[in-house]
Amino acid sequence: MTSNLKYWYLHEHKLFRNLSFSEIDALCILKRFKKSNKNEIIDLPYSEKERIYFLKHGSIKLIKINDDGEELLIDILQKGDLFGDLNLEKNTDNNDFFKVVSDEAIICTFFRENLEEVMQKKPDFALNYIEFIGFNFKKIQNSYKNILFKDTKTRLLLLLNIIIEKEYPKNSAFVLPNYLTQKDFAQLICTTRQTIISLFKELEKDGILQYSQKEIIIQDIKKIKKFAENVK
């Protein structure tokens, strides 16, 4: 992948779009692009310096192995997401790993110290970064609040709305590749697989979606968006 193409990938994102080629190059991102294919386990190498990872394209799962050896889905990351280094110490048993669930994924990485240098020289970029991180922190807070206080149907619809918004659909109907299993959905909203099966059947009767193992057809994304906006 050429440097110009890598620059285009980054410049397309709202966080980096106000940076020039030389400013993006100062982050040393252009030298650290990794392209992975579906079902590939992504190995994030250990580094003495703290790294930040940026998912430019695709979708990946963050999975944890529990004490019984079972895989637990912690989060689903989509294009545009930033995430931190999970391997901050050498020779530690880390049970977290990333798995590509889209056809391919492109991840770039940079050191936090390089980011701070660019932020000092570019105040508007610093403000964009703070706003971006603040939005993601608020999303995490809302996720915990929803698990504690919302019913399972509401939690499922809010999760679908988050996934849809990340894909930037341009039409009223939207086909979402189903890279999440029923068990994945259950783990993400803290319920059972049987409850998820019942909820999808209910949403199909309501005319909101059509569910299959290959894809989820959202017949009218405005219904889900309006529902999410009205949740307090």
The span from the CA of 124 to the CA of 18, in Å, is 8
Q: Does residue 127 share a domain with residue 61?
A: yes
Q: Does residue 99 share a domain with residue 25?
A: yes
The span from the CA of 229 to the CA of 73, in Å, is 26
Q: Does residue 110 share a domain with residue 21?
A: yes
Among candidate residues 119, 139, 159, the one where a domain is terminated: 139
Q: Does residue 198 share a domain with residue 105?
A: no
* Count of domains for the chain: 2
Answer whether residue 90 shows pLDDT above 50.
no
The span from the CA of 213 to the CA of 20, in Å, is 43
Looking at residue 55, its pLDDT comes to: 86
In terms of Cα–Cα distance, which of 189, 192, 190, 210 is closest to 201? 210
Distance of CA 169 to the CA centre of its chain: 16
Least reliable range by pLDDT among 19-28, 31-40, 175-184, 206-215: 19-28
CATH of the domain at 187: 1.10.10.10
Range of the domain at 205: 150-230
Amino acid making up residue 182: Q
Q: Does residue 154 share a domain with residue 135?
A: no
The span from the CA of 60 to the CA of 109, in Å, is 15
Answer whether residue 62 shows pLDDT above 80.
yes
Q: Does residue 186 share a domain with residue 95?
A: no
Cα torsion angle, 36, 184, 77, 211, sign: positive
Q: Does residue 180 share a domain with residue 112?
A: no
Q: Does residue 154 share a domain with residue 133?
A: no
3-state secondary structure of 104: strand
Looking at residue 32, its pLDDT comes to: 65
- What would the pLDDT profile of 118-173 be if each residue is shown by its tens digit? 788 888 878 777 776 665 655 655 665 565 678 899 989 988 888 888 776 777 78
Q: Does residue 94 share a domain with residue 172?
A: no
Q: Does residue 190 share a domain with residue 155?
A: yes
Among candidate residues 90, 118, 139, the one where a domain is terminated: 139
Looking at residue 121, its pLDDT comes to: 82
In a domain, 43, yes or no: yes
Average model confidence (pLDDT) across the chain:
77
Q: Say whether pTM exceeds 0.85.
A: no
CATH of the domain at 129: 2.60.120.10
Q: Does residue 176 share a domain with residue 117?
A: no
In a domain, 186, yes or no: yes
In a domain, 145, yes or no: no
The span from the CA of 86 to the CA of 95, in Å, is 10
- What would the pLDDT profile of 163-203 be if each residue is shown by its tens digit? 888 776 777 788 888 888 899 999 888 899 999 999 999 99
Looking at residue 87, its pLDDT comes to: 39
Place of tokens 């980011």: 115
